[in-house]
């Protein structure tokens, strides 16, 4: 049975829609690394998003989300800062990995 996914864009006013997945991503990276786990343990979603969206250097942002049924199962937050683009954070829920969603 093929799982159906839809892609949507999220406005920064609705950034809390990805907060639970962002937290799963933070915990994943905190547990994955021995040398930098302290950096991930100190990360806070609201502070991180405020730093991104209130930076005068960031020209544009894009928040893409992947929906299965009515649940957000993945997201990608990217920015353009100066003349460079950066993928800030990307996460696919473990149950939905290996379906090409991160590409």
pLDDT value for 91: 94
What CATH number labels 6-96? Answer: 3.40.630.30
What's the pLDDT score for residue 55?
84
Tell me if the pTM is above 0.95: no
| pLDDT at residue 16, rounded to an integer | 95
Going from the C-alpha of 17 to that of each of 25, 33, 56, 68, 82, the distances in angstroms are 14, 27, 24, 14, 27
pLDDT in the model for residue 11: 93
Where exactly are the structural domains of the chain? 6-96
Series of mean pLDDT values for 10-residue runs along the chain (103 residues): 88 94 89 73 86 85 93 93 86 88 81
What local confidence, expressed as pLDDT, does residue 38 receive? Answer: 65
């Amino acid at each position: 049975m093929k799982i159906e996914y839809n892609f949507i864009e999220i406005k920064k006013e609705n950034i809390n829609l990805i907060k639970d997945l962002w937290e799963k991503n933070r915990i994943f990276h905190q547990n994955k690394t021995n040398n930098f786990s302290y950096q991930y343990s100190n990360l806070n979603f609201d502070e991180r998003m405020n730093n991104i969206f209130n930076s005068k250097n960031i020209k544009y942002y894009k928040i893409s989300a992947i929906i299965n049924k009515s649940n957000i199962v993945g997201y990608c937050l990217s920015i353009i800062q100066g003349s460079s683009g950066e993928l800030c954070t990307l996460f696919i829920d473990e149950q939905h990995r290996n379906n090409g969603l991160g590409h």
